[in-house]
Amino acid sequence: MAKAGSPGCVFSALRDGPLVISRNELAFSVRDTTPVTAMHALVLPYRHAETYFDLSESELAAANDLLRHLRSDIEGADPSVKGFNIGANIGIVSGQTIFHCHIHLIPRREGDVPDPLGGVRAVIPEKTRY
Ligand SMILES: [Zn+2]
Q: What is the mean pLDDT of each run of 10 residues along the chain (130 residues)?
A: 72 93 98 96 97 98 98 98 98 96 98 93 82
CA of residue 127 to ligand 1 center, whole Å: 32
CA of residue 6 to ligand 1 center, whole Å: 5
The answer to whether residues 100 and 9 touch, using CB atoms and an 8 Å cutoff, is yes
CA of residue 102 to ligand 1 center, whole Å: 10
The answer to whether residues 88 and 104 touch, using CB atoms and an 8 Å cutoff, is yes
Which amino acid does the sequence have at 2? A
Q: Provide CATH code, domain 12-110+117-127.
A: 3.30.428.10
For residue 3, what pLDDT is reported? 54
Half-sphere exposure in the Cβ direction for 111 (13 Å, CA)? 1
CA separation for the pair 46, 25 (Å, rounded): 9
Residues pairing with 29 in the sheet: 22, 43
Domain boundaries in the chain? 12-110+117-127
CA of residue 29 to ligand 1 center, whole Å: 13
CA of residue 8 to ligand 1 center, whole Å: 8
pTM of the model: 0.93
